Structure 1
């Protein structure tokens, strides 16, 4: 069987991003994944695919111990309406299943909005396949994708 994280690795290399991808046992929650990796939940960054009313998308990067703040995100994006898409729409928009989504290697480079709390941190996130985690310096990720950094979580 081929490595399911190849697309992520190749996309990281193309952007000059240094990433480490670690295989881990399946986790049924973010807290369980954090325990398996031996890191705090805040160090795992959730990549949320968010749908705009014009059928385009964006990525919201939120620390694992926090939730997306819809009013804050709408204000930063400058729109009145945003929502989480159905799993099949998220897959079509990114090429990744929920729980594995990462901006790196997404089939479309949607804009990234990152919560300011991840700046300066080494973070873990989805790696494009179940049972894997990607580790990257948040600042390198944010600068390589031109992310908008703001207070977007609660």
Structure 2
């Protein structure tokens, strides 16, 4: 059985927010993709989020949180944060900065030095899932709770994909 990263658990406990933890190993089917997870938990794919750990070319890091059916508009995001360019950070940078694995990035429980940006579209749902800071763990929360716990700024940062 998998568990939340300790920093994610502390942030949820401190907030008093209501969270449902989804452990991939507890499902009757093997979870190999976001589609598998969506079907197993019974949520539409739009409510399953991804958190991308990004590096500003001029220094610093950010986490972009958006729906699984969307992709980041990197130019729009760079302009929003006042950077010339943002790129996906390396797994080594992720581990050194946040202590999370590549497939377990969470916007919750991270350093205040890391800027969190959430896509506005996520706020159209009563709950969304975000990574739990460990592989195979997702946390279901109200998007407003994710925003409050992470200190996120909200904007339109995604390009819809079909």
How far 1:61 sits from its partner (Å)? 0.4
1:72–1:49 CA distance, 2 compared to 1 (3 A): same
**Alignment of 1:32 onto 2:36:** yes
How far 1:2 sits from its partner (Å)? 8.6
CA contact (8 A) 1:113 1:150 kept: yes
Number of residue equivalences: 153
Let me know the Cα RMSD of the aligned residues: 1.9
CA distance in 2, matches of 1:45, 1:57: 19
The correspondence of residues 1-154 of structure 1 with structure 2, limited to 5 A, is 3-25=3-25, 27-106=31-110, 108-109=111-112, 110-121=114-125, 122-154=127-159
For the residue of structure 2 that corresponds to 1:118, the secondary structure is helix
CA distance in 2, matches of 1:141, 1:103: 8
For the residue of structure 2 that corresponds to 1:104, the secondary structure is coil
Could you give the per-residue CA deviations for residues 32-89 of structure 1, whole angstroms, max 9, x where no partner exists?
2212222111101101111012331111001111111111111211111110011111
Unaligned runs of 5+ in 1: none
CA distance in 2, matches of 1:3, 1:32: 20
CA distance in 1, matches of 2:14, 2:101: 22
Could you give the per-residue CA deviations for residues 128-150 of structure 1, whole angstroms, max 9, x where no partner exists?
22222101100122134332111
Unaligned runs of 5+ in 2: none
CA distance in 1, matches of 2:9, 2:87: 29
What TM-score do the two structures reach when normalised by structure 2? Answer: 0.84
What TM-score do the two structures reach when normalised by structure 1? Answer: 0.88
4+ residue runs over 3 A deviation: 1-7
For the residue of structure 2 that corresponds to 1:71, the secondary structure is helix
How far 1:5 sits from its partner (Å)? 3.7
